[in-house]
Structure 1
């Protein structure tokens, strides 16, 4: 399965896909709960952890890979000049 998780970089790029893809997050939550590789969940793997499976699992376990909008609004403020949320200080 080629996709963002197969790209080079930290966690193979899977973190960005986790933020944007609610279906993938839900699938990885189940994989995490049952400790199975994502490829096995999809029915294409034999139960062994591929490089892509490991990259997705690491990205899923990275708290920076998930949106937390409540935290965003609690810790950040809107910077009018920059036109984006910023962390004060």
Structure 2
């Protein structure tokens, strides 16, 4: 026997949610925002690393330029940590 299902209005969707449920939903929403911000920020940092590889004059200069990327982009790394 099939059970009839109906639509639930949005204002009644969280009627039985308690404070724990609300806290877990808030933590999940913040984690989703952080996850969504990670890829664009890493794209900027990766682009700077690739630029450091490309702008190196000699092979001895590559490591020095790549190590300087976090120092030059403290704003990017501040957002990630």
**TM-score scaled to structure 1, two decimals?**
0.25
Select the structure of larger CA radius of gyration. Answer: 2
Which structure is higher in strand share? 1
**TM-score scaled to structure 2, two decimals?**
0.27
Which structure is higher in helix share? 2
